[in-house]
Structure 1
Amino acid sequence: MARNYSIYDVFTDRKLAGNPLAVVFDGDDLSDQAMQSIAAEFNLSETVFVQKFGNSAHATRIRIFTPARELPFAGHPTVGTAIALAEQAYGDQDGGLDLVSVLEENVGPVRCAVRLRPGEASFAEFDLPRTSNRYDLPLDRQGIADALSLKVTAIGFENHVPAIWGAGVPFLLVPVHDIAAVESLEFDPQLWERTAPLCEGRLTPAYVYCRGGVHHAAKFHARMFSPDMGITEDPATGSAVAALSGAIWHFDGLPDGHHPLMVEQGVEMGRSSHIHLHIDVKDGAISRARIGGQAVRLATGSLDL
């Protein structure tokens, strides 16, 4: 059976930048093992399988796989799939179109808004399915520094300290002093496996960040590494930015109001990604957070399975 797919570059308006994503549109009747094998064959950070409605009130159900395992939620697959489905259904229209859909993921329903404009890269934005929460686990700052090939004095800035946060997928967020430290780090997966704690039964990925960025609008600059997911380095990680929303609110003491931020990632890989984060704070707590970005289709094809 031929199963159609497209490859999108996500969190970018340029082809061959951002984070590539495979979207398999005919994901029904595939076993978990088959989906995992296909994801390993594509060998991208994530591959999405679109399936029939899990709930008649939702637009569609999607399953998200890294080369090594399934994820309950991820940002660039959510943005990329929302855009891919919208372009598949409405891409031939001459005028612009704004629409809302719901993707049913393992974490729960995720509400997405999509903007289609002729001659422009499409844009999608989704509400975080969960508010970012902190996991109270002991951390070895020296061990973290060693695994990143950094001096321990480079770890932390202002009120920001290493901590585990998650909004569907937990990450060990590691703040460092500046972009030079982020650029120069060398990730050692073996040292990381000995240092990073297990969280929800899995080795926590490393998400290293600092203030500022190469892009003039970037408020934070980041890199992500995840041996457990089979990802050497990720060009863009929306679920990590979802986790980061809680750390920003907590360590920066965000006041009530709306806080738009842009996080850049993938610069060191030559695949610059721009992830838009919006945090709404009310009565001293996050009332709503959402993540958005653009995506462009790079390729289409079919799997002969």
Structure 2
Amino acid sequence: MTGGSFSYRLADVFARRRYEGNGVAVFLDPPRMSSADLQAVTVEIRQFESAYVWSTPAPAVFDTRIFVVDRELPFAGHPVLGTAAVLHERQLAADVPPNGVSRADASARWTLRLGQREVTVTSVPDGAGGFDVSMDQGRPEFGKPMPPAYREQVARALSLRPEDLHEDLPMQWASTGLAYLMVPVRGQALSRARIGTGDFGALLAEAGAQLAYVLDPDAREGRNWVNDGSVEDIATGSASGPAAAYLVRHRRADPALTVQLHQGRFLDRPSVMNVQVIGGPEQITHVTLSGHVCLTGTGTLDEPPGT
């Protein structure tokens, strides 16, 4: 590890304007640090996630690690989109043709290497300092519909009544890598939902799910928490693709149209996630997640931990 100052860029992902959406701190080519030191920097910044990105000999390919305040994540949607926007901003600042005309309308493709997984992301400047960024989330998978008794258990665990559940839609997990139990609700149930049990993770495991996504299919709005209920997520990119695919599978969304999902209203951080579902209800081949990214600020740390 080497000393010296290093900087980060703040990005708001799935945001229509600054100070909305889900925030991420992106460090481009910071000093090489141990996992413990990267965790310490993440705690210091205390953004929802922090992404650490290093150039490789291959053009537009970057080694990437994503941390939250208590652990490293193997993958997360909104830090990937935010990283692509920050990389594109850096490219625009450096890549100006000799005639002085910036290629500000050109798209760019980035490959982020997260451990053994490679994620390809496309970014396009919006002409106003932000970026529209998209990524292919792959082919969704679905679990079996859960029986009425289980539906009632989940409703109560989410501080809801069984009649708050949408009776025409199944409760089942959907996944493009992380299995979310889709909990379809109606009326004002979304505003009342909250995890009210300490063993919610075990209840989800009975269905083969890792997390829950409470979804109002009529309003196209969702909510998600960590399983102990202590933290609500502002915008869950890894759930939005499966949620849109779930709506198409059950003929509540037209695959010919972009499915726009909303989240974050209850945290005063409104977020908009756009999903294109490729295929029909019987055979969905893949989903593409996209969102707008606003760049909001820059910070500098004097030196890495331990120097």
Q: TM-score, normalised by structure 2?
A: 0.84
Partners of 2:235 and 2:263 within 8 A in 1 = yes
1:298 is matched with 296
Q: Do structure 1's residue 99 and structure 2's residue 108 form an aligned pair?
A: yes
Aligned-residue offset at 1:136: 5.1
1:155 is matched with 165
1:221 is matched with 221
- Larger mean CA deviation between 7-16 and 108-117 belongs to 108-117
| 1:53-101: CA deviation from partner (whole Å, max 9, x where unpaired) | 3x83752121122223322222111111100110122147374222222
- Pick the structure with more strand per residue: 1
2:51 is matched with 48
Unaligned runs of 5+ in 2: 95-101
1:216 is matched with none
Q: Do structure 1's residue 210 and structure 2's residue 219 form an aligned pair?
A: no
Task: Give the letter for the 1:29 counterpart.
Answer: R
Moved over 6 A (4+): none
Q: Do structure 1's residue 241 and structure 2's residue 240 form an aligned pair?
A: yes
Partners of 1:199 and 1:46 lie apart in 2 by: 28
Aligned-residue offset at 1:284: 3.9
- Larger mean CA deviation between 94-103 and 149-158 belongs to 94-103
2:192 is matched with 184
1:111 is matched with 120
Task: Give the letter for the 1:151 counterpart.
Answer: R
Aligned-residue offset at 1:126: 1.0
Partners of 1:28 and 1:50 within 8 A in 2 = no
SS at match of 1:70: strand
| 1:204-228: CA deviation from partner (whole Å, max 9, x where unpaired) | 2221111233xxxxxx101110147
Partners of 2:66 and 2:74 within 8 A in 1 = yes
Task: Give the letter for the 1:48 counterpart.
Answer: A
1:249 and 1:205, CA in 2 relative to 1: closer, same or farther beyond 3 A? same
Task: Give the letter for the 1:224 counterpart.
Answer: N
Aligned-residue offset at 1:135: 4.0
Partners of 1:76 and 1:299 lie apart in 2 by: 17
Aligned-residue offset at 1:110: 1.7
Partners of 2:64 and 2:185 lie apart in 1 by: 35
Partners of 2:60 and 2:88 lie apart in 1 by: 14
**Residue 268 of structure 1: which of 266, 269, 276 is its match?**
266
1:70 and 1:198, CA in 2 relative to 1: closer, same or farther beyond 3 A? farther
| 1:108-135: CA deviation from partner (whole Å, max 9, x where unpaired) | 222221111332521111111x312124
Partners of 2:207 and 2:41 lie apart in 1 by: 27
Partners of 1:8 and 1:143 lie apart in 2 by: 38
1:217 is matched with none
Partners of 1:133 and 1:246 within 8 A in 2 = no
1:10 and 1:134, CA in 2 relative to 1: closer, same or farther beyond 3 A? same
Work out which of the two has the higher radius of gyration on C-alpha atoms and give 1 or 2: 2
Task: Give the letter for the 2:222 counterpart.
Answer: A
**Between Structure 1 and Structure 2, how many residues are aligned?**
291
| 1:163-216: CA deviation from partner (whole Å, max 9, x where unpaired) | 2222122222211113x110122332525245321799xx82221111233xxx
Partners of 1:97 and 1:117 within 8 A in 2 = no
Partners of 1:83 and 1:114 within 8 A in 2 = yes
SS at match of 1:86: helix
1:76 is matched with 78
Partners of 1:199 and 1:252 lie apart in 2 by: 23
Q: Do structure 1's residue 4 and structure 2's residue 12 form an aligned pair?
A: no
Question: Identity, % of aligned pairs?
Answer: 24
1:133 and 1:40, CA in 2 relative to 1: closer, same or farther beyond 3 A? farther
**Residue 141 of structure 2: which of 121, 133, 150 is its match?**
133
Partners of 2:155 and 2:165 within 8 A in 1 = yes
Partners of 1:223 and 1:265 within 8 A in 2 = yes
Aligned-residue offset at 1:44: 2.9
- Larger mean CA deviation between 4-13 and 89-98 belongs to 89-98
Q: TM-score, normalised by structure 1?
A: 0.84
Task: Give the letter for the 1:184 counterpart.
Answer: R
